[in-house]
Amino acid sequence: MDKNLQNRVRNISEKRVLVAPLNWGLGHATRCVPIINALLAENKEVVLASDGHPLQFLKKEFPSLQTIEFTGINVKYSKKNSQGWAMILQMPKFAYSISKEHFILKKIVQQYNIHAVISDNRFGLWHKKIKSIYITHQIGVKVSRNIHILNKVACLVHKLFINRYSECWIPDFEGENNLSGELSHKYPLPRNCHFIGILSRFSDIRQNNSELPEYHNVGIVSGVEPHRQILADKLLSLFEKTDQPSLIISGQPTEYQKVIHKNNVTIVPHLETAKLATAIITAKQLFCRSGYSTLMDITVLGRKNACLIPTPGQTEQEYLAQKAENIGFTSLEQSKFWILDNVGKGKIAVVTGANGGFGLQIASGLAQKGTKVVLACRNEQKAMQAKQHIENAVQNADIDFISLDLSSLNSVRNFVEMYTQRYSKIDILVNNAGILFVPHKVTKDGYEQIFQTNYLGHFLLTNLLLPLFPDSYSSKIIFQSSVMYKMGKIRFYDFNLDRGYSKWKAYSQSKLALMLFALQLQRNLAQSGKKIQPVLSHPGISLETDIVKNQTIRKLAQKVCSFFSQSAQKGAQSAIVAALSNEIKSGDFIGLDGFVQGKGNPVKISISSKATDKAVAEQLWKVSCAATEFDDL
């Protein structure tokens, strides 16, 4: 137990204490568990008050304590992604409910002889004549992503309620090493506020000490309707598509706990504390909300990764998910998240251009799933630094390096020769390497360097490695493209752009060529009955990549593009999803759902007719075979 919490509880001299959490999901009730335990340790008489699932949960955790059904605010959430108008339209109901619960509290205090009250985020549970304590992690309320004045107004209103209480307890650490970030550390705090450390019912659980079958995928469903059920259905649909044992905890504690088995998925309404801790600790992949109580639980159990799915439109959860990405978590929208197969030991991936930017993050992401990754890079020093970086970040990472310079066809052949000496197969190839802002230059092979590096080198590399792929749907060839392919044109008469060079013209041509190649390869493999799957991906815009060599241009881009760009780690997710998700099929194009495809979450996107022109693709294939001296027989 945190000493700050212990000290605050010891300061409560009153004997009989009412604990009343908000009924919006289970989180407010679960985080009250350590507070209730602390009160009981001080020999307090505790009375519990809530309704619905939170009350059922508290009854299960503390069967000997007196309980009161105390109805709270019955909020209704929209099924859409924005809850702003839904909340605004319910403001009159909220005001009435707060006034009503304040009135009911007075009756409860008198009827049950209550000496102090602890309210977890219930605005109306303050009392002038007894000690009233309010718990919240969100002093600075986030009600809007973009309209900051609304957040300031909400903060001021919230402080008015906080000031009605004797004390306000904040379940977080004071200082920079905190969990709530701007929610409790941005604005000046009211004088009655005290940090009490993280609250979790798992605080006394330090290791896996409960017998529970080991599940590959574990989904913890929480929140208010209809989004609790929407998430449960989404997880079930995705888990059923895998062959891995999966568990869904539906967040519905009731007296009758019915367990449902659907193929490889087990669905339980609720798990007791020790078993839930085991499920969280042992899960290969954990899916859950980014609610604050959930994040506290994960933190206490020492889990370093999970797929966080914010409740749509809950700005607070969206902020917390985004903040958690900085320490290695994944954040995905409820309507757009993917199951990533655990590639596991024995599978091998090659990632070109893996010494920095997107390539480094793709290699790291694959290594996290247990894949052996071969870094195919031109610069050995940078490659070894990347290898060290991944090995430091990913426990038991298996990383190798083989030199590859895509601007040299001899280097490509040497790479394949070296690779076949070390390995007998390849499961995933990520054609990621690319250059953009470079002057006009013709390689020793006689081709413009952007065209050869981005396309022609990958054409030869892919075809030479193709015989090493197992004939399986899990064999993936990922082509890292760009939306700039739409601006491209294949100049069969002038690949080298001798008649008028432009960096963007060269880049867009190379990316269109890569798209045409990928889709032609898909058709060729399908016609021959092969299961190998070529897939296209687009990472968006990141200022952390090495594609822009010129430092002046890079600094200018950082100023101009920052509002529609994202981190290399986030951009790498489209290629990782393309490589590992069993929902992605041959010929799919995985892009982003954000502004101008510059940022966002992975999502399937359409392909322009420019890339689906079979006549151009077939002609390009023949020309490329001749250019690389590849015998396509």
Q: Which residues are catalytic?
A: 507
Cross-sheet strand order for the sheet of 193-195: 66-69, 45-50, 16-21, 116-120, 131-135, 167-170, 193-195
In sequence order, what are the residues at sequence separation of 6 or more whose Cβ sits closer than 8 angstroms to the Cβ of residue 151? 140, 141, 142, 143, 144
DSSP helix/strand/coil, 348: strand
DSSP notation for 43-68: T-EEEEEE-HHHHHHHHHH-TTSEEE
Contact yes or no for 24/228 (Cβ under 8 A): no
Q: What is the largest CA-CA distance in the chain?
A: 91
Residues constituting the chain: 633
Buried b (16+ CB within 10 A) or exposed e, 171-199: bbbbeeebbbbbbbbebebbeebbbbbbb
Looking at the DSSP bridge assignments, the partners of residue 117 are: 18, 132
Q: How much of the chain is helix, strand and coil, in % rounded to 5?
A: 40, 15, 45
Q: Which long-range contacts (CB under 8 A, 24 or more apart) does 229-233 make?
A: 230/79, 230/334, 231/289, 231/309, 231/334, 232/267
Nearest to 340 by CA among 278, 285, 269: 285
Q: 357-368 and 573-580 helices cross at what angle (nearest 10)? A: 40
Give me 168's structure tokens.
Answer: 């306000």
